[in-house]
């Protein structure tokens, strides 16, 4: 549960815009892992106490597990959606985000939430050029009265709400959150450019399975095959325990324990960077590998990434755990099937590598 004091923090995703310049609902545009903009944003916020979807008409779709809030007073734009959500939510604070910010990540949500206080009604992001983004901020339920007064006078501009509220602007300068996280996609051209955006990290494929199912073995076998096919591969491995990145007794260990926020060790041919951080996500790490073609994640069975799942009869429970929609392939010694999902033997490394290479080519050709 995310709280400030004893009060919960939820989120509302604004998905009720007319999308006139796009020509279709932006909430339904496809993005990573075959998910829509709306589904992608929902995934980034599910750690909060509640996630609401704001729509302007009852017939608009939401996302499974997220209550849909229909504007009480349609035609008021984002202000109407925020107002309705603040009245309907059970949380004391709501993170407000628009569904058309596909580069938005959880770390920005958590950073804004960390700034809320009884001294303010609204906390909103400010990009490095000084622009305030009212549709990426945290709103107290107290702000509902401010919005109500503005709408009653026919004033629907969100910037006017900031002027009337006790407002805290939060500049992203000095944070690991790039301004691109707040970029809106409004036109077909912007949507097309999104797939060649250099801030977007390479495709991520998770190799998942229970402990001792053979994840590391599979990775060690398929990486050389992918390399021969011309794919540059990086690997991210999750460690369920907090690990010691610098060997005790080394200079870097001494400097880190002295309080350095980060250390780097390098030679002519390699380097290692260690940083202390909160809210570490795979997406955040993946942005460090912009020069590779593919990132393989060891683990991630509960993630939304495309997966190769290993089911080994000796240690597995006899069935796959992943949502079939996220499965690229099954690798197993059992008689398992999922509709439309290729099944490979535990040692068919060429087959598994070929399936991954096929996926990468499809992603990069979009």
Whether residue 146 has pLDDT greater than 70: yes
Whether residue 9 has pLDDT greater than 90: yes
Whether residues 100 and 226 fall in one domain = no
Last residue of a domain, one of 159, 194, 229: 194
Residues whose CB falls within 8 Å of the CB of residue 32, separated by 6 or more in sequence, listed in order: 40, 102
pLDDT of residue 364: 64
Instruction: For residue 162, tell me if it sits in a domain.
Output: yes
DSSP 314-362: TTS-SS--S-GGGEEEEEESS----TT--EE-TT-HHHHHHHHHHHHHH
Whether residues 105 and 152 fall in one domain = yes
Whether residues 138 and 222 fall in one domain = no
pLDDT of residue 3: 43
Whether residues 209 and 109 fall in one domain = no
Whether residue 18 has pLDDT greater than 80: no
3-state percent helix, strand, coil for the chain, nearest multiple of 5? 30, 25, 45
Whether residues 49 and 25 fall in one domain = yes
Longest dimension (CA), the chain: 69
Instruction: For residue 257, tell me if it sits in a domain.
Output: no
DSSP 288-326: GGTT-SEEEEE--TTSSS-EEEEE-TTTS-SS--S-GGG
Whether residues 170 and 302 fall in one domain = no
- What pLDDT, in 10s, does the model give residues 123-133? 999 998 899 99
CATH code, 8: 3.90.550.10
The predicted model gives 242-263 an average pLDDT of 74
pLDDT of residue 5: 41
Instruction: For residue 183, tell me if it sits in a domain.
Output: yes
Last residue of a domain, one of 175, 194, 213: 194
Whether residues 126 and 235 fall in one domain = no
- What pLDDT, in 10s, does the model give residues 167-214? 999 998 877 788 889 999 988 888 888 776 545 567 889 899 988 999
Domain span at residue 344 reads 204-246+290-364
Instruction: For residue 54, tell me if it sits in a domain.
Output: yes
pLDDT of residue 279: 59
Task: Give the number of domains in the chain.
Answer: 2
Instruction: For residue 264, tell me if it sits in a domain.
Output: no
Q: In terms of DSSP bridges, do strands 122-126 and 294-298 run parallel, antiparallel, or are they unpaired?
A: unpaired
Compute φ and ψ for 303, nearest 5 degrees: -80, 170
Whether residues 112 and 213 fall in one domain = no
d(CA 276, CA 259): 10
The predicted model gives 221-226 an average pLDDT of 95
Whether residues 159 and 39 fall in one domain = yes
Whether residues 230 and 190 fall in one domain = no
Instruction: For residue 267, tell me if it sits in a domain.
Output: no
Instruction: For residue 273, tell me if it sits in a domain.
Output: no
Whether residue 1 has pLDDT greater than 50: no
Whether residues 216 and 171 fall in one domain = no
pLDDT of residue 13: 96
pLDDT band at 278; cut points 50, 70, 90: low
Whether residues 128 and 184 fall in one domain = yes
Last residue of a domain, one of 130, 163, 194: 194
**Token pair for residue 271?**
């380097």
The predicted model gives 356-366 an average pLDDT of 77
Instruction: For residue 270, tell me if it sits in a domain.
Output: no
């Amino acid at each position: 549960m995310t709280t400030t004091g004893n009060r919960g923090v939820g989120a509302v995703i604004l998905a009720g815009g007319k999308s006139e310049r796009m020509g279709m609902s932006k909430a339904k545009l496809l993005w990573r892992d075959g998910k829509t903009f709306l589904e992608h944003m929902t995934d980034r916020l599910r750690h909060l106490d509640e996630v609401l979807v704001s729509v302007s008409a009852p017939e608009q779709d939401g996302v499974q597990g997220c209550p849909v809030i229909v504007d009480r007073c349609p035609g008021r734009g984002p202000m109407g959606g925020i107002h309705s959500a603040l009245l309907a939510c059970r949380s004391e604070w709501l993170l407000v985000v628009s569904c058309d910010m596909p580069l938005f990540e959880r770390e920005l949500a958590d950073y804004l939430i960390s700034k809320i206080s009884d001294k303010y009604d609204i906390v909103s992001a400010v990009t490095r050029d000084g622009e305030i983004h009212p549709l990426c901020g945290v709103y107290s339920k107290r702000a509902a009265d401010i919005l109500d007064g503005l709408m009653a006078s026919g004033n629907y501009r969100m910037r006017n709400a900031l002027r009337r509220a006790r407002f805290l602007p939060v500049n992203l300068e000095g944070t690991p959150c790039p301004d691109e996280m707040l970029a809106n996609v409004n036109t077909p051209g912007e949507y097309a450019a999104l797939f060649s955006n250099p801030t977007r990290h390479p495709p991520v494929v998770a190799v998942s399975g229970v402990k001792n199912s053979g994840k590391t073995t599979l990775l060690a076998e398929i990486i050389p095959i992918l390399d021969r096919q011309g794919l540059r591969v990086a690997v991210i491995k999750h460690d369920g325990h907090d690990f010691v990145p610098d060997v005790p007794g080394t200079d870097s260990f001494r400097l880190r324990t002295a309080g350095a926020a980060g250390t780097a060790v390098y030679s002519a041919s390699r380097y290692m960077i260690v940083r202390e951080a909160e809210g570490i996500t795979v997406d955040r790490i993946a942005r460090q590998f912009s020069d590779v073609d593919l990132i393989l994640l060891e683990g991630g069975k509960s993630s939304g990434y495309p997966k190769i799942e290993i089911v080994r009869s000796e240690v597995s429970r006899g069935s796959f755990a992943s949502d079939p929609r996220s499965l690229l392939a099954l690798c197993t010694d059992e008689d398992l099937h999922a509709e439309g999902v290729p099944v490979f033997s535990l040692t068919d490394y060429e087959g598994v590598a070929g399936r991954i290479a096929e996926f990468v080519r499809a992603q990069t050709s979009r």
